[in-house]
Amino acid sequence: MATQHPIWTLTKKIDTPQNISAVLDTNETALVSYKDGKDIFTLTNQRILLSDSQGLFGSEHTLYVFPVSKIEAYSLQQANLQKNTLTIDTWNDQYIFKLDHSIDPNELLKLLAQAMAR
């Protein structure tokens, strides 16, 4: 059974932070980044990077990284215009992202499909 990670709530699209850009491979390009409080979701042409900041001031960081080639399935649940949930399944993990109404779910799905097609 897949491990379900904490639910992330992506609230707004942002420029890719320098600390994420610094860990990208030379052939890797950030396609989009979103903010979740102190945390960051970045989709590249090769991987998904989840920067998880803990502590009151976000002084402790964990970077979760998985290649898009490990994605077995993904789905978008739309309850209404303001409630969208993206679920990404890998071989043994499940990641759930709630999307704020300001985030275009179709743009995210298109970029995810482009990354997986490489």
Kindly write down the DSSP assignment for every residue of 46-93, as one continuous string: SEEEEEEEESTT--EEEEEEEEGGGEEEEEEEEEETTEEEEEEEESSE
Region at 78 (left for phi over 0; alpha for psi -120 to 50; beta for the rest): beta
Number of domains in the chain: 1
Q: Using CA atoms, how far apart are residues 43 and 26, in angstroms rounded to an integer?
A: 15
Domain hosting residue 80, numbered range: 3-116
56 has a pLDDT exceeding 70: no
Q: Binning pLDDT at 50, 70 and 90, where does residue 114 land?
A: very high
We report the CATH number of the domain holding residue 92 as: 2.30.29.50
Is 98 in a helix, a strand, or coil?
strand
Taking only the tens place, the pLDDT of each residue in 63-97 is 889 899 999 999 999 877 667 898 898 878 888 99
10 has a pLDDT exceeding 90: yes
Looking at residue 83, its pLDDT comes to 76
Looking at residue 57, its pLDDT comes to 64
Contact 96, 36 (CB under 8 A): no
